[in-house]
C-alpha cells in the first residue's frame, strides 16, 4: 500500500498542511518540537485509531481550535481510498472512507496498515508486561480488525466483574456480607462465564499471532546478531489448556477462577485472565530484560518490528507502512544497512531525524527529504 498524500488540519501543531509523498522513503528532518513525531502520530491514528502518546482527543486538536482533521489518500491493490478522521475537543470523533461517514469505527480499521518503531519501543523489552500486551493488541487489530471489538467486550466484562468484587470486599469489611453474599455469589457466577468466554477469545488470538510472529522474529534476530543468539518469543497465558480449542480454553479458565476465588474476593479484583498474561522474550534462554546491552535490546526490538512488517504483509497481502521515529540514527551502520536491505523500496517508510549526518549516503540518495519547521 502507498500513502500518497496526508492533509493535517488543526491537528497538534499543524494548522493546515498538505504533504505529498513522492518516494518510497521519506526523511522528515527538523529541530526538536517542530512536528515530526506529530506527523507520524497522524498516520498511526489512521492506522489503529489510537496514538501511543496520548489518550485524549482534545490534546490532538490544535490549541484553541475545536475540531481537527487528518485526511489521507491511500493507494491499495484494490483501489484508491480517501481516509478521513475528525477529532473534536468536545464530542465524539468521526470517521469516513471515500467521503462517506462510517457508522462503526471498526470499519475504519485495517485499511491503512503501519508498523511504528520509536525510541520508546525499547520499553517493549524493559517495560512492564502491559507494554507488551498493548503492542500485541495493536498488531492484532491490524491483522484482524474484529479483534478491537473482542478486546473491548473483554474489558467491559472485566470492569463490571471488578466492580462486583470490590463491592463484595467493601461489604465484607463492613460486616454486611451475610445478607447479600448469596446474591453477590450468583451474580459473580454469571460474570465468571462471561469472563471465560470473552477472555478465551483474547487469549487464543494472542497466542496464535505470536506463534506466527516468533519464527519471523527469530530469523531476523539471527541475521542481525550474526546467528550467535537465539531469540524466543512466546505467549505466557495464566490459563493453560490442553489444546487450542475454544471449549477447552473456557473450561480451563473457569477452573482457574474457582481456584482463585478466595484471593480474588479478598483483593477485590480479577486475578485470572488475559489482562495478566505475559509475552516472554528470551535470548539464549535468558529473559531479554536482564540480558545484554542497550544495543542488544535494540536489535531485539528491530527484529520484532521487521517480523511485524513481514507478518502484516503475509496476512494482509500488501506491504504495510513503516514509521521510524528517532530510531535510525541510534542504530549503528551495520544495523542501518540491515534495515535498508529489509525494506528496500517495498515498504513505504517515513523516518524522522534531527540531523541528516547520521545517515548513510545510500539512505539519503534514495529518499525524499522534507524539512519540518513549526508545523509546516
Candidates 7, 9, 13, 265; binder of ligand ATP (CB under 6 A) is 13
- Which of the listed partners (ligand ATP, Mg ion, none) does 248 bind, with a CB threshold of 5 to 8 Å by partner kind? none
Alpha-carbon separation of residue 102 from 40, 94, 98 (angstroms):
24, 8, 10
As measured in angstroms, the least distance from the Cβ of 126 to Mg ion is: 20
As measured in angstroms, the least distance from the Cβ of 49 to ligand ATP is: 18
For residue 37, state whether it binds Mg ion (rule: CB under 5 A). yes
| Cell numbers linked to 182 | 448469596
| Cell numbers linked to 8 | 493535517
- Which of the listed partners (ligand ATP, Mg ion, none) does 173 bind, with a CB threshold of 5 to 8 Å by partner kind? none
Candidates 8, 19, 27, 38; binder of ligand ATP (CB under 6 A) is 38
Paired residues of 322 in beta bridges: 115, 349
Angstrom distance (rounded) from CA 306 to CA 262: 44
Other CB atoms within 10 Å distance of the CB of residue 103: 8
- Which of the listed partners (Mg ion, ligand ATP, none) does 30 bind, with a CB threshold of 5 to 8 Å by partner kind? ligand ATP
Angstrom distance (rounded) from CA 199 to CA 44: 27
HSE value, Cβ hemisphere, 13 Å, CA-based, for 237: 24
Residues 338-357 that bind ligand ATP (CB under 6 A): 352, 354
Angstrom distance (rounded) from CA 207 to CA 218: 16
- Which of the listed partners (Mg ion, ligand ATP, none) does 35 bind, with a CB threshold of 5 to 8 Å by partner kind? ligand ATP
Angstrom distance (rounded) from CA 235 to CA 248: 17
Listed in sequence order, the DSSP H helices in 61-117 are none
As measured in angstroms, the least distance from the Cβ of 351 to ligand ATP is: 12
Candidates 7, 25, 36, 310; binder of ligand ATP (CB under 6 A) is 36
Q: Do residues 143 and 209 touch, judged by C-beta distance below 8 A?
A: yes
Candidates 26, 37, 51, 86; binder of ligand ATP (CB under 6 A) is 37
Buried b (16+ CB within 10 A) or exposed e, 108-142: bbbbbbbbbbbeebbebbeeeeebbbebbbbbbbb
Q: Do residues 273 and 253 touch, judged by C-beta distance below 8 A?
A: yes
Closer residue to Mg ion (CB): 303 or 372? 372
For residue 13, state whether it binds Mg ion (rule: CB under 5 A). no
Q: Which x/- pattern over 301-340 shows residues binding ligand ATP (rule: CB under 6 A)? A: -------------------------x--------------
For residue 198, state whether it binds Mg ion (rule: CB under 5 A). no
As measured in angstroms, the least distance from the Cβ of 326 to Mg ion is: 6
- Which of the listed partners (ligand ATP, Mg ion, none) does 258 bind, with a CB threshold of 5 to 8 Å by partner kind? none
Alpha-carbon separation of residue 109 from 112, 241, 306, 310, 312 (angstroms):
7, 31, 21, 19, 13
| Cell numbers linked to 25 | 522513503
Phi and psi, residue 345, nearest 5°? -110, 20
User: By C-alpha distance, which of 18, 11, 103, 104 is closest to 58?
Assistant: 11
Q: Do residues 328 and 358 touch, judged by C-beta distance below 8 A?
A: yes
For residue 47, state whether it binds Mg ion (rule: CB under 5 A). no
32 is in an annotated binding site: yes
As measured in angstroms, the least distance from the Cβ of 119 to Mg ion is: 9
As measured in angstroms, the least distance from the Cβ of 325 to Mg ion is: 6
Closer residue to ligand ATP (CB): 12 or 305? 12
Residues 243-302 that bind Mg ion (CB under 5 A): none
- Numbered residues of the known binding site for ATP: 30-37
Contact residues toward ligand ATP (CB under 6 A) are: 12-13, 30, 32-38, 59, 61-63, 326, 352, 354
Contact residues toward Mg ion (CB under 5 A) are: 37
Amino acid at each position: 500500500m502507498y500513502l500518497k498524500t496526508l492533509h493535517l488540519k488543526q491537528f497538534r501543531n499543524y494548522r493546515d498542511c498538505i504533504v505529498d509523498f513522492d518516494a518510497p522513503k521519506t526523511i522528515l528532518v527538523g529541530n526538536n518540537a517542530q512536528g515530526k513525531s506529530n506527523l507520524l502520530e497522524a498516520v498511526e491514528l489512521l492506522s489503529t485509531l489510537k496514538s501511543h502518546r496520548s489518550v485524549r482527543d482534545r490534546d490532538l486538536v490544535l490549541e484553541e481550535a475545536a475540531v481537527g482533521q487528518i485526511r489521507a489518500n491511500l493507494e491499495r491493490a484494490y483501489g484508491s481510498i480517501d481516509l478521513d478522521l475528525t477529532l473534536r475537543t468536545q464530542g465524539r470523533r468521526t470517521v469516513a472512507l471515500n467521503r462517506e461517514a462510517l457508522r462503526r469505527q471498526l470499519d475504519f480499521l485495517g485499511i491503512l496498515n503501519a508498523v511504528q518503531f520509536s525510541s520508546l519501543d525499547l520499553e517493549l523489552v524493559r517495560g512492564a508486561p502491559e507494554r507488551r500486551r498493548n503492542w500485541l493488541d495493536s498488531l492484532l487489530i491490524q491483522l484482524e480488525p474484529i479483534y478491537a471489538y473482542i478486546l473491548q467486550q473483554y474489558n467491559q466484562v472485566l470492569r463490571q466483574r471488578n466492580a462486583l468484587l470490590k463491592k463484595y470486599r467493601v461489604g465484607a469489611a463492613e460486616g454486611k456480607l451475610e445478607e447479600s453474599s448469596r446474591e453477590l455469589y450468583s451474580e459473580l457466577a454469571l460474570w465468571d462465564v462471561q469472563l471465560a468466554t470473552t477472555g478465551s477469545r483474547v487469549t487464543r488470538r494472542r497466542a496464535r499471532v505470536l506463534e506466527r510472529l516468533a519464527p519471523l522474529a527469530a530469523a531476523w534476530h539471527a541475521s542481525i546478531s550474526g546467528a550467535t543468539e537465539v531469540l524466543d518469543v512466546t505467549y505466557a497465558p495464566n490459563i493453560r489448556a490442553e489444546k487450542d480449542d475454544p471449549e477447552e480454553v473456557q473450561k480451563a479458565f473457569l477452573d482457574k477462577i474457582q481456584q482463585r476465588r478466595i484471593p480474588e474476593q479478598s483483593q477485590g479484583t480479577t486475578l485470572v485472565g488475559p489482562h495478566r498474561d505475559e509475552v516472554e522474550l528470551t535470548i539464549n534462554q535468558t529473559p531479554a530484560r536482564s540480558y545484554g546491552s542497550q544495543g542488544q535490546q535494540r536489535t531485539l526490538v528491530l527484529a520484532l518490528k521487521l517480523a511485524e512488517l513481514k507478518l502484516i504483509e503475509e496476512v494482509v497481502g500488501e506491504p504495510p507502512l513503516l514509521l521510524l521515529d528517532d530510531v535510525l540514527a541510534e542504530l549503528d551502520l551495520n544495523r542501518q544497512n540491515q534495515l535498508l536491505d529489509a525494506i528496500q523500496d517495498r515498504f513505504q517508510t517515513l523516518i524522522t531525524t534531527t540531523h541528516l549526518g547520521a545517515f548513510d549516503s545510500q539512505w539519503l540518495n534514495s529518499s525524499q527529504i522534507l524539512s519540518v519547521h513549526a508545523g509546516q
